[in-house]
Amino acid sequence: GAVVSQHPSRVICKSGTSVKIECRSLDFQATTMFWYRQFPKKSLMLMATSNEGSKATYEQGVEKDKFLINHASLTLSTLTVTSAHPEDSSFYICSARDLAGVTGELFFGEGSRLTVL
Amino acid sequence: AQSVSQHNHHVILSEAASLELGCNYSYGGTVNLFWYVQYPGQHLQLLLKYFSGDPLVKGIKGFEAEFIKSKFSFNLRKPSVQWSDTAEYFCAVNGARAAGNKLTFGGGTRVLVKP
């Protein structure tokens, strides 16, 4: 199947700093990518929908100024956690839909674990 | 708005036992339904999906799921589990006409298969 890669897989940062996480579709193009957050022992919560060439669409309760999303090309979306705080520590997962694939089928990245000290 | 409910949070069973995980969804229109699996330390993988047609869907690794429209359910089954089936399983739904085809996930079920 199609491959989605995230980088970095793990990152530790100090409180107040910003962290950027990249999501790449390696062998397909994706106009839309999705960013999820997975809390310990809980399910995935959709944070935002990243649209190539336009602004991201954020879910209710997600601060768009804190979680900056950029989708500059058909194969890359980035999530920047600005002024990170310990409560932002979490597992962030991106997914992308293959333009040429079956409608609704998503491919997931391996996730990025953020720890804010 | 769409929502997904998985009834069991944790399931423990022995090898060769049969497995059934419940999933109910709430959505008024046509839906696409999915089961994903997350093995320890690995990323989410698609087990199977239902878009239309035969409501009994067969996926990878011997898993199957049955879509029962009248019950808004999409339960996952495997007749005989193996130790390697230890993982977390997520049911997901997206409304076929939902904006952006966003997936909504259930809370997940952790399955532990004892050897």
Q: What is the mean pLDDT of residues B98-103?
A: 62
Residue A69 C-alpha, separation from nearest chain B C-alpha, in angstroms = 16
Asked if the model's pLDDT at residue B100 lies above 80, the reply is: no
pLDDT of residue A1: 61
**How many whole angstroms separate alpha carbon A105 and alpha carbon B94?**
10
Do B43 and A109 lie within an 8 Å CB cutoff?
Answer: yes
Asked if the model's pLDDT at residue B93 lies above 80, the reply is: yes
Residues of A in contact with B44 (CB under 8 A): 44, 93, 95, 108
**How many whole angstroms separate alpha carbon A58 and alpha carbon A78?**
14
Confidence band for A99, pLDDT divided at 50, 70 and 90: low
**How many whole angstroms separate alpha carbon B48 and alpha carbon B4?**
16
pLDDT of residue A8: 95
Instruction: Could you list the beta-strand ranges (E) of chain A.
Output: 4-7, 10-13, 19-25, 32-38, 44-51, 57-58, 67-73, 76-81, 90-97, 106-108, 112-116
Q: What is the mean pLDDT of residues A50-77?
A: 91
Mean of the per-residue pLDDT values of chain A: 89
Higher pLDDT among residues B97 and A79, named by residue: A79
pLDDT of residue A40: 72
Q: What digits encode the pLDDT tens for the residues B17-65?
A: 999 999 999 887 788 899 999 998 887 888 998 988 999 999 999 999 9
CB pairs under 8 A between A and B: 54
Asked if the model's pLDDT at residue A117 lies above 90, the reply is: yes
Percent of chain A with pLDDT over 90: 60
pLDDT of residue B104: 86
B100 touches chain A (CB under 8 A): yes
pLDDT of residue A101: 60
Residue type, A77: S
Nearest-by-CA chain B residue for A110: B43
pLDDT of residue A85: 96
Mean of the per-residue pLDDT values of chain B: 90
Long-range contact list for B54-62, CB < 8 A, 24+ apart?
B59/B35, B61/B85
